[in-house]
Amino acid sequence: MKRLLKYTAIFLMVLMSGSSVWAYTYNEHITTAPNNKGDVLVYPWYLALDGGWYTKLTVINTDAYACVVAKVVIRSFKNSEELLDFLIYLSPSDVWTGVLKYLGGKVIIYSDDDSAVYSESPLVFASTTPISQPMFGLDCADDGDFAGYVEVIMAAYKTMASTAAVAKSKIFYGYKGVAAGDTSIGPMTLPSVGTNPNCLAGYMELQNLTLGLSSSLRATALKDNDTNAALTTGPETALGSYSNNTLAEIEAALTKNNIGMPYVNGSNTALHFFTFPTKLTQRGIGCEDNSVLSPFFKQHSTAASQAGKSRDWCVEYLIGVYDLKENTPQSGPFSGGGTTYEFCNEVNWIATSSFPYTEGWARYVISAGTNTLGYTKKSVESSEPLYYNGAPVIPSYLYLGTLGIEMNYGAWTDTPVAGALSPYCYDLVDYQYTDSAVVTVKCPT
Protein backbone atom coordinates (compact mmCIF):
# COMPACT_ATOMS: atom_id res chain seq x y z
CA MET A 1 0.00 0.00 0.00
CA LYS A 2 2.67 2.52 1.04
CA ARG A 3 4.71 1.59 -2.03
CA LEU A 4 1.78 2.26 -4.35
CA LEU A 5 1.03 5.62 -2.74
CA LYS A 6 4.72 6.56 -2.97
CA TYR A 7 4.73 5.90 -6.72
CA THR A 8 1.42 7.74 -7.09
CA ALA A 9 2.95 10.82 -5.47
CA ILE A 10 6.02 10.63 -7.73
CA PHE A 11 3.76 10.19 -10.72
CA LEU A 12 1.83 13.36 -9.87
CA MET A 13 4.94 15.41 -9.15
CA VAL A 14 6.43 14.54 -12.54
CA LEU A 15 3.23 15.51 -14.28
CA MET A 16 2.78 18.82 -12.51
CA SER A 17 6.35 19.86 -13.26
CA GLY A 18 6.28 19.73 -16.35
CA SER A 19 -7.50 23.29 -47.85
CA SER A 20 -10.80 23.07 -49.19
CA VAL A 21 -14.17 24.79 -48.67
CA TRP A 22 -17.13 22.97 -47.14
CA ALA A 23 -16.92 19.19 -47.38
CA TYR A 24 -19.25 18.15 -50.16
CA THR A 25 -22.55 19.44 -48.70
CA TYR A 26 -23.88 20.28 -45.26
CA ASN A 27 -24.96 16.65 -44.87
CA GLU A 28 -21.69 15.06 -45.98
CA HIS A 29 -19.03 16.02 -43.49
CA ILE A 30 -16.87 14.64 -40.71
CA THR A 31 -18.66 13.62 -37.56
CA THR A 32 -18.08 11.74 -34.33
CA ALA A 33 -18.43 7.96 -34.76
CA PRO A 34 -21.09 6.48 -32.47
CA ASN A 35 -19.83 2.96 -33.19
CA ASN A 36 -16.21 3.88 -32.35
CA LYS A 37 -15.01 3.13 -35.91
CA GLY A 38 -13.86 5.79 -38.36
CA ASP A 39 -10.99 7.06 -40.49
CA VAL A 40 -9.40 9.30 -37.79
CA LEU A 41 -8.47 8.15 -34.29
CA VAL A 42 -7.37 10.53 -31.53
CA TYR A 43 -5.66 9.06 -28.46
CA PRO A 44 -6.28 12.02 -26.13
CA TRP A 45 -3.08 11.67 -24.14
CA TYR A 46 -0.13 9.43 -23.48
CA LEU A 47 2.38 9.24 -20.63
CA ALA A 48 5.93 7.87 -20.80
CA LEU A 49 7.56 8.41 -17.41
CA ASP A 50 10.61 7.20 -15.56
CA GLY A 51 9.55 4.63 -12.99
CA GLY A 52 7.96 2.23 -15.44
CA TRP A 53 4.91 4.16 -16.66
CA TYR A 54 4.30 3.63 -20.38
CA THR A 55 1.44 3.83 -22.88
CA LYS A 56 0.60 1.03 -25.28
CA LEU A 57 -1.23 2.01 -28.48
CA THR A 58 -3.41 -0.36 -30.49
CA VAL A 59 -4.90 0.29 -33.95
CA ILE A 60 -7.43 -2.21 -35.32
CA ASN A 61 -8.54 -2.65 -38.92
CA THR A 62 -12.05 -3.99 -38.34
CA ASP A 63 -12.74 -4.62 -42.05
CA ALA A 64 -12.52 -8.28 -43.05
CA TYR A 65 -11.80 -7.46 -46.72
CA ALA A 66 -9.95 -4.13 -46.84
CA CYS A 67 -6.21 -3.49 -46.60
CA VAL A 68 -5.56 -0.11 -44.97
CA VAL A 69 -2.61 2.28 -44.79
CA ALA A 70 -2.71 4.86 -41.99
CA LYS A 71 -0.41 7.58 -40.70
CA VAL A 72 0.48 7.73 -37.00
CA VAL A 73 1.38 11.19 -35.66
CA ILE A 74 2.75 11.70 -32.13
CA ARG A 75 2.45 15.26 -30.77
CA SER A 76 3.68 17.06 -27.65
CA PHE A 77 1.34 18.17 -24.88
CA LYS A 78 1.96 21.92 -24.91
CA ASN A 79 2.33 23.05 -28.52
CA SER A 80 1.33 20.02 -30.60
CA GLU A 81 4.90 19.75 -31.86
CA GLU A 82 5.19 16.80 -34.23
CA LEU A 83 7.51 14.50 -32.30
CA LEU A 84 7.38 11.58 -34.71
CA ASP A 85 5.26 10.22 -37.56
CA PHE A 86 5.22 6.99 -39.57
CA LEU A 87 2.92 4.82 -41.69
CA ILE A 88 1.38 1.49 -40.72
CA TYR A 89 0.20 -1.19 -43.17
CA LEU A 90 -2.81 -3.23 -42.09
CA SER A 91 -4.12 -6.31 -43.85
CA PRO A 92 -7.80 -7.28 -43.39
CA SER A 93 -8.72 -7.78 -39.70
CA ASP A 94 -5.19 -6.76 -38.76
CA VAL A 95 -3.89 -5.01 -35.61
CA TRP A 96 -0.85 -2.79 -35.00
CA THR A 97 0.59 -2.20 -31.54
CA GLY A 98 3.35 0.08 -30.29
CA VAL A 99 4.58 1.30 -26.93
CA LEU A 100 5.58 4.83 -25.90
CA LYS A 101 8.01 4.49 -23.02
CA TYR A 102 10.91 6.14 -21.21
CA LEU A 103 14.15 4.29 -21.89
CA GLY A 104 17.76 5.36 -21.42
CA GLY A 105 16.85 8.95 -20.66
CA LYS A 106 14.67 9.27 -23.78
CA VAL A 107 11.06 8.74 -24.78
CA ILE A 108 10.86 6.16 -27.57
CA ILE A 109 8.26 4.33 -29.63
CA TYR A 110 8.88 0.58 -29.56
CA SER A 111 7.17 -1.90 -31.88
CA ASP A 112 7.94 -5.37 -33.16
CA ASP A 113 4.70 -5.51 -35.13
CA ASP A 114 4.91 -6.45 -38.81
CA SER A 115 2.46 -3.65 -39.70
CA ALA A 116 5.24 -1.08 -39.21
CA VAL A 117 8.38 -0.63 -41.30
CA TYR A 118 11.88 -0.52 -39.80
CA SER A 119 13.43 0.57 -43.11
CA GLU A 120 12.12 1.14 -46.63
CA SER A 121 15.27 0.43 -48.62
CA PRO A 122 15.85 -2.40 -48.13
CA LEU A 123 12.28 -3.13 -47.03
CA VAL A 124 12.46 -4.50 -43.47
CA PHE A 125 9.42 -4.80 -41.22
CA ALA A 126 9.49 -4.35 -37.45
CA SER A 127 8.76 -8.05 -36.92
CA THR A 128 12.25 -8.72 -38.29
CA THR A 129 14.04 -5.73 -36.76
CA PRO A 130 12.02 -4.07 -33.97
CA ILE A 131 11.57 -0.31 -34.02
CA SER A 132 13.05 1.55 -31.04
CA GLN A 133 12.86 5.13 -32.28
CA PRO A 134 13.38 8.15 -29.97
CA MET A 135 11.18 11.20 -30.34
CA PHE A 136 12.75 14.04 -32.30
CA GLY A 137 13.97 17.14 -30.47
CA LEU A 138 11.60 19.82 -29.21
CA ASP A 139 11.57 23.36 -30.57
CA CYS A 140 10.31 24.77 -27.27
CA ALA A 141 12.23 24.18 -24.05
CA ASP A 142 9.09 24.44 -21.92
CA ASP A 143 7.36 21.66 -23.86
CA GLY A 144 7.99 17.96 -23.31
CA ASP A 145 7.72 14.55 -24.91
CA PHE A 146 6.88 12.63 -21.71
CA ALA A 147 3.23 13.55 -22.37
CA GLY A 148 1.23 14.36 -25.46
CA TYR A 149 -1.41 12.90 -27.73
CA VAL A 150 -1.53 10.69 -30.83
CA GLU A 151 -3.49 10.83 -34.09
CA VAL A 152 -4.04 8.01 -36.59
CA ILE A 153 -5.33 9.12 -40.01
CA MET A 154 -6.43 6.71 -42.73
CA ALA A 155 -4.39 7.31 -45.87
CA ALA A 156 -5.75 4.73 -48.33
CA TYR A 157 -7.45 1.35 -48.61
CA LYS A 158 -7.92 -1.54 -51.02
CA THR A 159 -10.88 -3.93 -50.92
CA MET A 160 -9.84 -7.52 -51.57
CA ALA A 161 -11.87 -10.37 -53.05
CA SER A 162 -11.54 -12.56 -49.95
CA THR A 163 -10.64 -12.41 -46.27
CA ALA A 164 -7.34 -14.19 -46.84
CA ALA A 165 -4.20 -12.71 -45.29
CA VAL A 166 -2.26 -10.27 -47.49
CA ALA A 167 1.52 -9.93 -47.37
CA LYS A 168 2.55 -6.59 -45.86
CA SER A 169 5.07 -6.06 -48.66
CA LYS A 170 2.23 -6.10 -51.19
CA ILE A 171 0.36 -3.42 -49.21
CA PHE A 172 3.55 -1.36 -48.93
CA TYR A 173 4.27 -1.46 -52.67
CA GLY A 174 0.61 -0.97 -53.54
CA TYR A 175 0.59 2.29 -51.58
CA LYS A 176 3.87 3.31 -53.19
CA GLY A 177 2.32 2.73 -56.61
CA VAL A 178 4.57 -0.19 -57.50
CA ALA A 179 2.51 -2.75 -59.40
CA ALA A 180 5.15 -5.06 -60.90
CA GLY A 181 4.44 -8.78 -60.71
CA ASP A 182 3.02 -10.06 -57.46
CA THR A 183 4.87 -7.56 -55.28
CA SER A 184 1.80 -5.32 -55.01
CA ILE A 185 -1.96 -5.54 -54.49
CA GLY A 186 -2.33 -2.83 -57.13
CA PRO A 187 -3.22 0.84 -56.72
CA MET A 188 -4.96 1.79 -53.48
CA THR A 189 -7.99 4.07 -53.12
CA LEU A 190 -8.26 7.32 -51.21
CA PRO A 191 -11.16 7.23 -48.73
CA SER A 192 -14.05 9.30 -50.08
CA VAL A 193 -17.72 9.92 -49.41
CA GLY A 194 -19.85 6.86 -50.05
CA THR A 195 -16.89 4.47 -50.31
CA ASN A 196 -14.88 5.18 -47.15
CA PRO A 197 -14.86 1.97 -45.08
CA ASN A 198 -14.45 3.93 -41.79
CA CYS A 199 -12.98 0.76 -40.32
CA LEU A 200 -10.28 1.98 -37.90
CA ALA A 201 -10.76 1.48 -34.17
CA GLY A 202 -8.27 1.70 -31.34
CA TYR A 203 -7.49 1.97 -27.68
CA MET A 204 -4.62 2.94 -25.40
CA GLU A 205 -3.35 1.27 -22.24
CA LEU A 206 -1.49 3.00 -19.40
CA GLN A 207 0.65 0.37 -17.73
CA ASN A 208 3.24 -0.09 -15.03
CA LEU A 209 4.48 -3.67 -14.87
CA THR A 210 6.53 -3.00 -11.72
CA LEU A 211 3.39 -2.07 -9.83
CA GLY A 212 1.18 -4.52 -11.68
CA LEU A 213 -1.12 -1.74 -12.90
CA SER A 214 -2.94 -1.38 -16.20
CA SER A 215 -6.03 0.35 -17.58
CA SER A 216 -7.36 1.07 -21.06
CA LEU A 217 -9.21 3.87 -22.87
CA ARG A 218 -10.67 3.69 -26.36
CA ALA A 219 -9.53 6.22 -28.94
CA THR A 220 -11.93 8.98 -29.97
CA ALA A 221 -13.08 8.05 -33.47
CA LEU A 222 -14.16 10.46 -36.22
CA LYS A 223 -15.65 9.22 -39.48
CA ASP A 224 -15.69 10.61 -43.02
CA ASN A 225 -12.58 12.74 -42.72
CA ASP A 226 -11.87 11.54 -46.28
CA THR A 227 -8.17 12.05 -46.97
CA ASN A 228 -7.86 13.54 -50.47
CA ALA A 229 -4.10 13.18 -51.13
CA ALA A 230 -1.43 10.59 -50.48
CA LEU A 231 0.06 10.93 -47.00
CA THR A 232 3.80 10.59 -46.50
CA THR A 233 6.27 11.16 -43.69
CA GLY A 234 7.56 14.28 -45.49
CA PRO A 235 5.16 17.18 -44.98
CA GLU A 236 3.42 17.49 -41.63
CA THR A 237 -0.10 16.07 -41.57
CA ALA A 238 -2.41 18.04 -39.30
CA LEU A 239 -6.13 17.59 -38.85
CA GLY A 240 -7.90 19.59 -41.54
CA SER A 241 -5.05 19.15 -44.03
CA TYR A 242 -5.13 16.69 -46.95
CA SER A 243 -8.83 16.28 -46.23
CA ASN A 244 -12.18 17.08 -47.79
CA ASN A 245 -13.14 18.64 -44.45
CA THR A 246 -11.93 21.98 -43.17
CA LEU A 247 -10.40 22.29 -39.73
CA ALA A 248 -13.46 24.31 -38.68
CA GLU A 249 -15.70 21.36 -39.51
CA ILE A 250 -13.52 19.02 -37.44
CA GLU A 251 -13.82 21.47 -34.57
CA ALA A 252 -17.59 21.49 -34.96
CA ALA A 253 -17.59 17.69 -34.65
CA LEU A 254 -15.60 17.91 -31.40
CA THR A 255 -17.36 20.88 -29.77
CA LYS A 256 -18.84 20.27 -26.31
CA ASN A 257 -19.61 22.02 -23.04
CA ASN A 258 -20.83 21.41 -19.47
CA ILE A 259 -18.26 18.69 -18.88
CA GLY A 260 -18.67 16.43 -15.86
CA MET A 261 -15.86 14.31 -14.37
CA PRO A 262 -15.74 12.22 -11.16
CA TYR A 263 -12.87 12.44 -8.71
CA VAL A 264 -11.44 10.90 -5.55
CA ASN A 265 -8.92 12.20 -3.01
CA GLY A 266 -7.20 11.07 0.16
CA SER A 267 -5.64 7.62 -0.30
CA ASN A 268 -6.71 7.88 -3.95
CA THR A 269 -6.48 10.68 -6.45
CA ALA A 270 -7.53 11.54 -9.98
CA LEU A 271 -6.31 13.56 -12.94
CA HIS A 272 -8.72 15.32 -15.29
CA PHE A 273 -7.40 15.67 -18.85
CA PHE A 274 -8.61 18.18 -21.44
CA THR A 275 -7.22 17.70 -24.95
CA PHE A 276 -7.58 20.24 -27.79
CA PRO A 277 -6.34 18.29 -30.85
CA THR A 278 -7.23 21.06 -33.32
CA LYS A 279 -5.39 23.88 -31.56
CA LEU A 280 -2.08 23.23 -33.38
CA THR A 281 -0.06 26.06 -31.91
CA GLN A 282 2.57 27.40 -34.28
CA ARG A 283 6.01 28.41 -33.06
CA GLY A 284 7.75 31.65 -33.97
CA ILE A 285 11.23 33.01 -33.34
CA GLY A 286 12.40 32.27 -29.82
CA CYS A 287 9.56 29.80 -29.40
CA GLU A 288 7.00 32.58 -29.10
CA ASP A 289 3.49 31.82 -30.26
CA ASN A 290 2.70 33.93 -33.29
CA SER A 291 -0.26 32.17 -34.89
CA VAL A 292 -2.50 29.15 -34.72
CA LEU A 293 -4.06 27.11 -37.50
CA SER A 294 -7.36 26.61 -35.68
CA PRO A 295 -10.29 28.89 -36.64
CA PHE A 296 -11.62 28.51 -33.09
CA PHE A 297 -8.38 29.56 -31.43
CA LYS A 298 -7.74 32.32 -33.95
CA GLN A 299 -11.06 33.83 -32.96
CA HIS A 300 -10.29 33.36 -29.29
CA SER A 301 -6.85 34.92 -29.74
CA THR A 302 -8.39 38.04 -31.26
CA ALA A 303 -10.86 38.32 -28.41
CA ALA A 304 -8.11 37.82 -25.82
CA SER A 305 -5.91 40.47 -27.43
CA GLN A 306 -8.76 42.93 -27.52
CA ALA A 307 -9.40 42.28 -23.84
CA GLY A 308 -5.74 43.04 -23.04
CA LYS A 309 -4.97 39.54 -21.75
CA SER A 310 -1.36 38.43 -21.58
CA ARG A 311 -1.88 34.93 -22.99
CA ASP A 312 -3.66 34.33 -26.24
CA TRP A 313 -5.28 31.08 -27.34
CA CYS A 314 -6.14 29.99 -23.81
CA VAL A 315 -9.67 28.66 -23.26
CA GLU A 316 -11.47 30.14 -20.28
CA TYR A 317 -13.56 27.91 -18.06
CA LEU A 318 -15.47 27.90 -14.78
CA ILE A 319 -15.41 24.93 -12.42
CA GLY A 320 -17.97 23.78 -9.88
CA VAL A 321 -16.91 21.06 -7.41
CA TYR A 322 -19.45 18.83 -5.67
CA ASP A 323 -19.20 16.06 -3.08
CA LEU A 324 -21.40 12.95 -2.91
CA LYS A 325 -24.21 14.84 -1.16
CA GLU A 326 -24.52 17.73 -3.63
CA ASN A 327 -22.51 20.04 -1.36
CA THR A 328 -20.35 22.64 -3.09
CA PRO A 329 -18.15 25.47 -1.77
CA GLN A 330 -20.44 27.89 -3.59
CA SER A 331 -23.60 26.69 -1.79
CA GLY A 332 -25.20 28.57 1.09
CA PRO A 333 -26.94 31.94 1.55
CA PHE A 334 -24.09 33.85 -0.10
CA SER A 335 -21.85 33.15 -3.07
CA GLY A 336 -19.57 34.99 -5.43
CA GLY A 337 -19.30 35.05 -9.20
CA GLY A 338 -16.80 32.23 -9.39
CA THR A 339 -13.21 32.20 -10.61
CA THR A 340 -12.29 31.96 -14.26
CA TYR A 341 -9.42 29.62 -15.13
CA GLU A 342 -7.65 28.87 -18.41
CA PHE A 343 -6.62 25.87 -20.46
CA CYS A 344 -3.53 26.97 -22.39
CA ASN A 345 -1.90 23.72 -23.57
CA GLU A 346 -2.97 21.20 -26.17
CA VAL A 347 -3.19 18.60 -23.38
CA ASN A 348 -4.10 19.99 -19.95
CA TRP A 349 -4.43 18.09 -16.69
CA ILE A 350 -5.89 19.03 -13.31
CA ALA A 351 -4.92 17.14 -10.15
CA THR A 352 -8.08 16.78 -8.07
CA SER A 353 -6.04 16.77 -4.84
CA SER A 354 -6.76 20.51 -4.77
CA PHE A 355 -10.51 19.85 -4.48
CA PRO A 356 -12.04 20.35 -0.98
CA TYR A 357 -13.84 17.00 -0.77
CA THR A 358 -12.78 13.37 -0.61
CA GLU A 359 -15.03 12.21 -3.44
CA GLY A 360 -17.54 13.67 -5.85
CA TRP A 361 -17.66 15.23 -9.30
CA ALA A 362 -16.69 18.49 -11.00
CA ARG A 363 -18.49 20.48 -13.68
CA TYR A 364 -16.41 22.45 -16.19
CA VAL A 365 -18.17 25.17 -18.18
CA ILE A 366 -16.34 26.54 -21.20
CA SER A 367 -16.68 30.29 -21.62
CA ALA A 368 -19.03 31.21 -24.47
CA GLY A 369 -17.02 34.34 -25.23
CA THR A 370 -18.51 37.75 -25.93
CA ASN A 371 -21.20 36.68 -28.38
CA THR A 372 -24.55 37.69 -26.87
CA LEU A 373 -26.30 34.73 -28.52
CA GLY A 374 -23.98 32.27 -26.83
CA TYR A 375 -22.43 31.04 -30.08
CA THR A 376 -18.91 31.72 -31.14
CA LYS A 377 -18.29 32.42 -34.80
CA LYS A 378 -15.82 30.12 -36.46
CA SER A 379 -14.59 31.46 -39.77
CA VAL A 380 -13.57 28.68 -42.11
CA GLU A 381 -11.14 28.73 -44.99
CA SER A 382 -13.99 29.79 -47.25
CA SER A 383 -16.40 32.63 -46.55
CA GLU A 384 -19.03 30.53 -44.74
CA PRO A 385 -19.02 30.61 -40.92
CA LEU A 386 -19.96 27.97 -38.34
CA TYR A 387 -21.55 28.78 -34.99
CA TYR A 388 -21.57 26.74 -31.80
CA ASN A 389 -21.08 26.98 -28.05
CA GLY A 390 -18.25 25.44 -26.03
CA ALA A 391 -14.92 24.30 -27.47
CA PRO A 392 -13.39 21.43 -29.51
CA VAL A 393 -12.13 19.42 -26.55
CA ILE A 394 -11.79 15.76 -25.55
CA PRO A 395 -12.27 15.33 -21.75
CA SER A 396 -11.07 12.20 -19.96
CA TYR A 397 -9.90 11.20 -16.51
CA LEU A 398 -7.44 8.90 -14.78
CA TYR A 399 -7.98 7.37 -11.33
CA LEU A 400 -4.94 6.29 -9.29
CA GLY A 401 -5.59 4.56 -6.01
CA THR A 402 -5.20 1.66 -3.64
CA LEU A 403 -7.35 -0.58 -5.83
CA GLY A 404 -5.50 0.19 -9.06
CA ILE A 405 -6.06 2.61 -11.93
CA GLU A 406 -8.99 3.40 -14.20
CA MET A 407 -9.35 5.57 -17.33
CA ASN A 408 -12.55 6.80 -18.91
CA TYR A 409 -14.16 9.73 -20.71
CA GLY A 410 -16.11 12.43 -18.95
CA ALA A 411 -19.73 13.36 -19.60
CA TRP A 412 -20.66 16.42 -21.62
CA THR A 413 -23.27 18.29 -23.58
CA ASP A 414 -22.96 18.23 -27.37
CA THR A 415 -23.73 21.74 -28.57
CA PRO A 416 -25.87 22.41 -31.67
CA VAL A 417 -24.01 23.56 -34.74
CA ALA A 418 -25.34 26.24 -37.08
CA GLY A 419 -24.08 27.33 -40.47
CA ALA A 420 -24.85 30.25 -42.72
CA LEU A 421 -24.78 30.67 -46.46
CA SER A 422 -25.93 34.21 -47.10
CA PRO A 423 -28.72 35.18 -46.86
CA TYR A 424 -29.93 32.02 -45.09
CA CYS A 425 -29.12 30.35 -41.77
CA TYR A 426 -29.13 26.57 -41.45
CA ASP A 427 -29.44 24.21 -38.52
CA LEU A 428 -26.79 21.54 -39.04
CA VAL A 429 -27.19 18.05 -37.62
CA ASP A 430 -25.02 14.95 -37.30
CA TYR A 431 -21.78 16.70 -36.39
CA GLN A 432 -22.07 15.00 -33.01
CA TYR A 433 -23.64 11.72 -32.00
CA THR A 434 -26.44 13.26 -29.89
CA ASP A 435 -27.50 15.83 -32.49
CA SER A 436 -31.26 15.46 -33.02
CA ALA A 437 -33.04 15.65 -36.36
CA VAL A 438 -34.41 19.07 -35.41
CA VAL A 439 -32.43 21.60 -33.41
CA THR A 440 -33.23 25.20 -32.62
CA VAL A 441 -30.25 27.38 -33.38
CA LYS A 442 -30.08 31.12 -33.88
CA CYS A 443 -27.43 32.47 -36.18
CA PRO A 444 -26.04 35.93 -35.49
CA THR A 445 -27.17 38.59 -37.92
Residue 376, pLDDT above cutoff 50: no
Most trustworthy range by pLDDT among 164-173, 197-206, 282-291, 347-356 = 197-206
Q: Residues near 50 by Cβ (< 8 Å), separated by ≥ 6? A: 14, 102
Residue 426, pLDDT above cutoff 70: no
Residue 305, pLDDT above cutoff 70: no
What's the gap between Cα 347 and its chain centre? 9
Residue 164, pLDDT above cutoff 50: yes
* Averaged pLDDT, 269-290: 81
Q: Residues near 351 by Cβ (< 8 Å), separated by ≥ 6? A: 12, 15, 16, 269, 270, 271
pTM here?
A: 0.89
Comparison of pLDDT for 400 and 10, the residue scoring more: 400
* Averaged pLDDT, 373-386: 46
Q: Residues near 168 by Cβ (< 8 Å), separated by ≥ 6? A: 89, 91, 114, 115, 125
Residue 195, pLDDT above cutoff 50: yes
Mean pLDDT of the chain: 82
Residue-wise pLDDT tens digits, 351-362: 999 899 999 999
* Averaged pLDDT, 81-106: 96
Using 50, 70 and 90 to split pLDDT, how confident is the model at 300? Answer: low
Residue 268 near residue 5, CB atoms below 8 Å? no
Residue-wise pLDDT tens digits, 38-76: 999 999 999 999 999 999 999 999 999 999 999 999 999
Using 50, 70 and 90 to split pLDDT, how confident is the model at 439? Answer: very low
